[in-house]
């Protein structure tokens, strides 16, 4: 939108201490090596570009925060495993266990502490995209809000440590 001073843009940013998840993972490298199992306290931030801030088109920050918290909680205190990784081999296990081999190393974990994710590798880039997709699916369950008419763009950033992370962004077609 163009105003008296040129192109106008309205962005809202949401970054709260409770919008986070603690998770363990192992990134696999192209040569077949991998990181050791380790964890991060991931911090999540959302930026939303609005079509306009007019009262009739106003969106509550609370909706965004609630949905972000819901999707973060699903990965909190989990070991994140890339289900589509070609170096992952699922192994027979007891019903309450998750057994697998990754890059030749065997792991057996409590099944309820594992989140199998539909990605080929656990990286900040992939987590940002996947978390965004889950966020958007959960947000748009509310059909009473014309989300695509009120938003121009949305970006979701995941920091695995201070100053290191990835952002996934989408710009909607007008």
pTM above 0.75, yes or no: yes
| Fold observed for domain 2-78+123-171 | Tetrahydropterin Synthase; Chain A (3.30.479)
Position 172 pLDDT exceeds 60: yes
pLDDT of residue 2: 57
Considering only CA atoms, which of 65, 44, 54, 45 is closest in space to residue 8?
54
- As a whole number, the mean pLDDT across the chain is 91
Q: Which two structure tokens, joined as six digits, stand for 166? A: 């990835």
Going by pLDDT thresholds of 50, 70 and 90, the confidence category of residue 174 is: low
Burial 130-151 (b: 16+ CB within 10 A, else e): bbbebbeeebeeeeeeebeeeb
> Phi and psi dihedrals of 74, rounded to 5?
-70, -25
Domain limits, the chain? 2-78+123-171
| pLDDT tens, residue by residue, 11-50 | 999 999 999 999 999 999 999 999 999 999 999 999 999 8
| pLDDT tens, residue by residue, 65-83 | 999 999 999 999 999 999 9
pLDDT of residue 21: 97
pLDDT of residue 7: 77
Position 129 pLDDT exceeds 60: yes
In order, the DSSP letters of 55-86 are GGG---HHHHHHHHHHHHHHHTTEEEEETT-T
Q: Which two structure tokens, joined as six digits, stand for 64? A: 């965004």
Question: Can you tell me the distance from the alpha carbon of 72 to that of 98, in angstroms, rounded to the nearest whole number?
Answer: 22
pLDDT of residue 145: 72
Residue 165 CB coordination number (10 Å) = 19
Distances from the Cα of 137 to the Cαs of 40, 56, 61, 99, 143, in angstroms?
Answer: 25, 24, 17, 30, 11
Contact 92, 108 (CB under 8 A): no
Contact 115, 78 (CB under 8 A): yes
């Amino acid at each position: 939108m163009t105003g008296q001073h040129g192109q106008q843009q309205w962005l809202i940013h949401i970054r709260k201490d409770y919008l986070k998840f603690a998770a363990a993972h192992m990134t696999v490298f192209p040569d077949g090596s991998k990181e050791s199992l380790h964890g991060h306290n991931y911090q999540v931030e959302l930026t939303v570009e609005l079509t306009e801030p007019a009262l009739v088109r106003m969106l509550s920050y609370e909706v965004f925060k609630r949905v972000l918290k819901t999707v973060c909680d699903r990965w909190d205190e989990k070991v994140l495993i890339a289900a589509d990784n070609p170096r992952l081999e699922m192994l027979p296990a007891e019903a309450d266990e998750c057994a697998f081999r990754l890059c030749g190393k065997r792991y057996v974990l409590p099944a309820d502490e594992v989140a199998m994710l539909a990605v080929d590798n656990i990286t900040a880039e992939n987590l940002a995209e996947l978390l965004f997709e889950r966020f958007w699916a959960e947000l748009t369950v509310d059909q009473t809000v014309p989300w695509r008419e009120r938003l121009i763009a949305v970006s979701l950033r995941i920091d695995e440590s201070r100053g290191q992370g990835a952002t996934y962004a989408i710009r909607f077609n007008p």
